[in-house]
């Protein structure tokens, strides 16, 4: 787990050592344990090290093969590196370290670009093949680890974070107005290869790109997930539940491989509680040294009981006897932290829930270097309540009227208050989009049937954004975040399951709830509400943050922006403060965008 950066000058001029050095410095938070650089003619590679596996000097990067013809900089973890190492050793490869980085080099020697299909993990790497005179760049299947790039004259530049690319005076100097406007209207980001910086792109999840003297090749997809759209399955529910539990247990087992301490993010929801409980099972059976004798968990709490998950966290702690560490974010801390938070994220963010996660990572950073959490479960198990409507709509289109009726009744019984709130919010948000200027492409996140929605959520519309937040929040405190629900074997199996094993009778995450019966306390397992790491955003925006937001919306800089009607924004916000209109996240998105624009230099 680290930060990577580099330059490839396509016209064969020498790489700029000073530029590459500054790029690496801007990634220092991602790798405080060491730095390495490699230069050879037109190529410059830089690495900032967060030592997780093989803490010795043999783990330093850039790392080369025996004759130096290959050089790699790598951010992430190949969790099955031990198994791959055995296969490669049997094929005659010799290893000089105990790292997963070296496994990438020899896997490339053995299988070429097809090595990506052999990896189970998270990765973003750039591998210089000196014989071919080309740079092979790849990003993991789900996009857990970031890879950004830009062209500056004849130079191909890449880095783990946008801020490193902006070390070049010609890169990312203007906002990408289309992406910023889409974010303001719909709250989406990371759903395309474009970023909010003009001329800076990201390599999409499950893609590779090859750069040579002839130019930057077209990014190629090397893996995809096909979501089963069948409303009903033939496999027994219990068989599916056992398979899910077995796959998730093995995913966690692999992700406990570490030479440094590992902890767990615990929100009190189903997903993080499942990870916590399964780690405890592995502690009793296999005693992974990375966890120690007692698992450490890190949670967020709030004084406002409407948003506080303490009682659910207490339930899990009592059942598992884990060591519980907790933090309580507040608005005073938020306003002090907002500048660094935005700097770390590089782009504006749609919700203040990101701050809760930021605080949890800061808490964990004092005790561990790796955390596991439950990211990615909702998008696969149909966990968001809003998924109920696409499911019912798809059932009707396929002629399953009785099943659709059953689902509608179940949804109303379990989530009636949510749907009433969502309907009112849709009207408010539609009106608030009128505060924005210019034409914005429509983003319909929940269009289509449930299988279509879930496929989009996993690959483009939601999960990539959440992974962006998690990577930057964790790396802001030099922590590696691991997400076992995104083990590709589990992802492929869940995609193959019929929809009624994900949602049934209005109950979300149906197969997961069966899989963890007897493992997670029923008060958690049977929860129908959903919170996770959230903040009391509406309450904060109405009370403690109101003076700062009013000052922001009243400022001359805000008035001059071309993205919104400043007078109407201020008038609408005052109406909300006076209790004359409901809250919607457009207020925060506009405020966050203004703060981000002020950082733009």
Of the listed ranges 140-144, 438-442, 539-543, 587-591, the least confidently predicted one is 438-442
Are the beta carbons of 138 and 124 closer than 8 angstroms?
yes
3-state secondary structure 531-556: CCCCCCHHHHHHCCCHHHHHHHHHCH
Task: Give me the sign of the Cα torsion angle 371, 376, 382, 386.
Answer: positive
CATH 3.60.20.10 in the chain is located at 2-221
DSSP H stretches of helix in 5-122: 17-25, 81-90, 100-111
Task: Give me the sign of the Cα torsion angle 203, 187, 532, 599.
Answer: positive
DSSP 188: -
Neighbours of 134 (CB within 10 A): 17
Are the beta carbons of 506 and 414 closer than 8 angstroms?
yes
Q: 86 pLDDT band (50/70/90 cuts)? A: very high
- Does residue 166 carry a pLDDT above 60? yes
The pLDDT score that the predictor gives to residue 535 is: 76
To the nearest whole percent, how much of the chain has pLDDT over 90? 94
Q: Which residues lie across from 262 on neighbouring strands? A: 370
Q: 566 pLDDT band (50/70/90 cuts)? A: very high
Q: Which residues lie across from 156 on neighbouring strands? A: 8, 151
Of the listed ranges 54-63, 227-236, 507-516, the least confidently predicted one is 227-236
3-state SS, residue 37: strand
DSSP 196: S
Stretch 366-391: mean pLDDT: 97
The pLDDT score that the predictor gives to residue 450 is: 97
CA distance 583 to 380: 29
Q: Which residues lie across from 8 on neighbouring strands? A: 43, 156
Of 41, 43, 49, nearest to 24 (Cα)? Answer: 49
pLDDT in tens, 236-245: 999 999 999 9
Stretch 144-173: mean pLDDT: 98
CA distance 473 to 229: 35
CA distance 597 to 591: 10
Instruction: Name which CATH class applies to 237-385+441-525.
Output: alpha beta
The pLDDT score that the predictor gives to residue 600 is: 80
CA distance 82 to 84: 5
pLDDT in tens, 15-38: 999 999 999 999 999 999 999 999
Of 62, 51, 37, nearest to 2 (Cα)? Answer: 51
Predicted TM-score of the model (pTM):
0.96
Supply 358's token pair: 């930021």
Q: 1 pLDDT band (50/70/90 cuts)? A: low
Distances (CA, A) of 469 to 256, 366, 551: 22, 20, 27
Supply 469's token pair: 């937040």
3-state SS, residue 353: helix
Average pLDDT, the chain: 96
pLDDT in tens, 423-438: 999 999 999 999 999 8
Angle at 560 between CA 559 and CA 563, to 5 degrees: 90
- Does residue 559 carry a pLDDT above 80? yes
CATH 3.40.50.620 in the chain is located at 237-385+441-525
CA distance 587 to 541: 9
Q: 531 pLDDT band (50/70/90 cuts)? A: low
In the sheet where 155-159 sits, what is the strand order?
Answer: 35-40, 43-49, 2-9, 155-159, 148-152, 201-202
Neighbours of 112 (CB within 10 A): 11
Angle at 397 between CA 395 and CA 402, to 5 degrees: 45
To the nearest whole percent, how much of the chain has pLDDT over 70? 98
Of the listed ranges 435-439, 526-530, 557-561, the least confidently predicted one is 526-530
The full length of the chain comes to 601
Are the beta carbons of 46 and 5 closer than 8 angstroms?
yes
- Name the CATH superfamily, with its identifier, for domain 2-221: Aminohydrolase, N-terminal nucleophile (Ntn) domain (3.60.20.10)
Those residues whose C-beta lies under 8 Å from the C-beta of residue 431, and which sit 6 or more positions away, are: none
Of 479, 576, 494, 483, nearest to 51 (Cα)? Answer: 479
Q: 533 pLDDT band (50/70/90 cuts)? A: low
3-state secondary structure 229-286: CCCCCCCCHHHHHHHHHHHHHHHHHHHCCCCCCEEEECCCCHHHHHHHHHHHHHHHHH
- Does residue 235 carry a pLDDT above 80? no
Stretch 279-287: mean pLDDT: 95
DSSP 217: P
The pLDDT score that the predictor gives to residue 37 is: 98
Q: Which residues lie across from 197 on neighbouring strands? A: 175
Are the beta carbons of 109 and 174 closer than 8 angstroms?
no
pLDDT in tens, 313-360: 999 999 999 999 999 999 999 999 999 999 999 999 999 999 999 999
Angle at 156 between CA 151 and CA 160, to 5 degrees: 95
- Does residue 532 carry a pLDDT above 60? no
CA distance 513 to 510: 5
- Does residue 530 carry a pLDDT above 80? no
Of 77, 104, 4, nearest to 44 (Cα)? Answer: 4
CA distance 355 to 540: 12
């Amino acid at each position: 787990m680290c930060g990577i950066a580099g330059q490839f000058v396509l016209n064969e001029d020498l790489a700029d050592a000073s530029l590459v050095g500054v790029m690496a410095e801007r990634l220092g938070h991602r790798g405080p344990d060491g730095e390495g650089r490699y230069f050879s003619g037109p190529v410059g590679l830089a690495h900032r090290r967060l030592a997780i596996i093989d803490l010795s000097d043999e783990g330093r990067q850039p790392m080369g093969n025996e004759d130096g013809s290959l050089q790699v900089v790598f951010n992430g973890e190949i969790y099955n590196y031990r198994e791959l190492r055995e296969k490669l050793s049997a094929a005659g490869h010799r290893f000089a370290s105990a790292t997963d980085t070296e496994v990438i080099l020899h896997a490339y020697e053995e299988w070429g670009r097809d090595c990506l299909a052999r990896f189970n993990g998270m990765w973003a790497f750039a591998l210089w093949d000196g014989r071919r005179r080309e740079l092979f760049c790849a990003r993991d299947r789900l996009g857990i680890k970031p890879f950004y790039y830009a062209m500056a004259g004849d130079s191909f530049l890449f880095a783990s974070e946008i801020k490193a690319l902006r070390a070049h005076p010609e890169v990312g100097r203007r906002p990408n107005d289309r992406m910023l406007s889409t974010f303001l209207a719909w709250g989406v980001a990371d759903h395309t290869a474009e970023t909010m910086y003009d001329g800076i792109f990201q390599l999409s999840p499950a893609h590779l790109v090859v750069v040579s003297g002839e130019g930057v090749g077209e990014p190629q997809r090397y893996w995809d997930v096909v979501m089963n759209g069948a409303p009903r399955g033939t496999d027994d529910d219990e068989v599916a539940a056992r398979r899910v539990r077995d796959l998730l247990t093995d995913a966690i087992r692999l992700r406990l491989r570490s030479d440094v301490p590992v902890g767990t993010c615990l929100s009190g929801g189903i997903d993080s509680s499942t990870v916590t409980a399964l780690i405890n099972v592995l502690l009793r059976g296999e005693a992974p040294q990375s966890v120690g004798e007692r698992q450490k968990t890190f949670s967020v709490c709030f004084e406002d009981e409407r948003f506080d998950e303490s009682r659910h966290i207490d339930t899990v702690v009592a059942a598992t006897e884990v060591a519980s560490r907790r933090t309580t974010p507040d608005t005073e801390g938020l306003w002090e932290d907002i500048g660094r938070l935005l700097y770390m994220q590089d782009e504006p963010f749609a919700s203040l829930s990101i701050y809760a996660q930021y605080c949890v990572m800061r808490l964990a950073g004092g005790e561990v270097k790796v955390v596991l959490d439950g990211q990615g479960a909702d998008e696969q198990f149909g966990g968001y309540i809003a998924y109920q409507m696409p499911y019912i709509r798809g059932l009707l289109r396929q002629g399953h009227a009785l099943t659709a009726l059953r689902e509608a009744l179940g949804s109303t019984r379990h989530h009636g208050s949510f749907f009433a709130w969502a309907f009112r919010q849709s009207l408010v948000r539609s009106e608030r989009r009128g505060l924005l200027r210019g034409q914005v492409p429509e983003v319909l996140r929940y269009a289509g049937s449930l299988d279509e929605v879930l496929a989009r959520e996993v690959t483009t519309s939601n999960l990539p954004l959440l992974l962006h937040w998690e990577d930057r929040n964790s790396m802001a405190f030099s922590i590696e975040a691991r997400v076992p629900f995104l083990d590709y074997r589990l992802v492929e199996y869940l995609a193959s399951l019929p929809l009624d094993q994900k949602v049934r009778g209005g109950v979300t995450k149906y197969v997961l709830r069966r899989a963890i019966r007897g493992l997670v306390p029923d008060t958690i397992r049977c929860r129908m509400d959903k919170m996770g790491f959230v903040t009391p955003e509406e309450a904060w925006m109405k009370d403690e943050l109101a003076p700062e937001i009013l000052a922001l919306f009243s400022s001359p800089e805000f008035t001059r922006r071309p993205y919104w009607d400043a007078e109407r924004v201020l008038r609408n916000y005052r109406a909300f403060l006076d209790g004359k209109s409901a809250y919607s996240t457009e207020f925060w998105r506009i405020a966050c965008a203004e703060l981000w624009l002020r950082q733009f230099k």
